[in-house]
Amino acid sequence: MSETEKTVEAEENPHAKVVLQAANAMMKASLKLVPPAVLICIVVFTILKGQPGLLGSAIGGVLALVSAVATLGLMRFSAGMDPMFVMVIALGGYVLKLILLFAALSVLRGVDSIHPMALGVTMIVAILVAAAVEFAAFRKTKIPTIIPASH
């Protein structure tokens, strides 16, 4: 769906407008703070563990960043849908991300050139920073709690 179609849909559907507004604010905030947090982890683990720390931390950061952006992408995708379907998509997306992250970590488990602690800690840091930043952006966004029906 193009940006123009999303704008038209948002004008017709007040729920979509609110969700898109929140998703935009959360995306901007995430992209400002998560990459620097990942970069700090990469530097720290490179200093502490050398190349395995660099690789582990870089892979963990990429996995966590993709996961965070996927969540916001799902918000944008489901913005115009019935709120019940939005919840179904959110929960389904969460389960799918968990399965994919588990599969990726299982594949990477035996790789000696990747430091597992660097990978895990970087993922945890990136996911927690993303969650905190998204929460703060959501709180700052002016979102009405009740959307009156238009006649």
| Residue 63 near residue 123 (C-beta atoms within 8 A) | yes
Q: Report d(CA 109, CA 120) in Å as an integer.
A: 11
Confirm whether 3 is domain-assigned: no
Give the model confidence (pLDDT) of 34-68 as tens digits. Answer: 999 999 999 999 999 999 999 999 999 999 999 88
Average pLDDT over all residues of the chain: 84
Q: Which residue has the higher pLDDT, 1 or 67?
A: 67
Confirm whether 35 is domain-assigned: yes
Mean pLDDT of 84-104: 85
CB-neighbour burial class of residue 143 (10 A; exposed 0-12, middle 13-18, buried 19+)? middle
What total of structural domains would you count in the chain? 1
Give the model confidence (pLDDT) of 14-38 as tens digits. Answer: 677 777 888 888 889 889 999 999 9
Confirm whether 144 is domain-assigned: no
Confirm whether 148 is domain-assigned: no
CB-neighbour burial class of residue 47 (10 A; exposed 0-12, middle 13-18, buried 19+)? exposed
0.85 exceeded by the pTM?
Answer: no
Residue range(s) defining the domain that contains residue 71 = 15-138
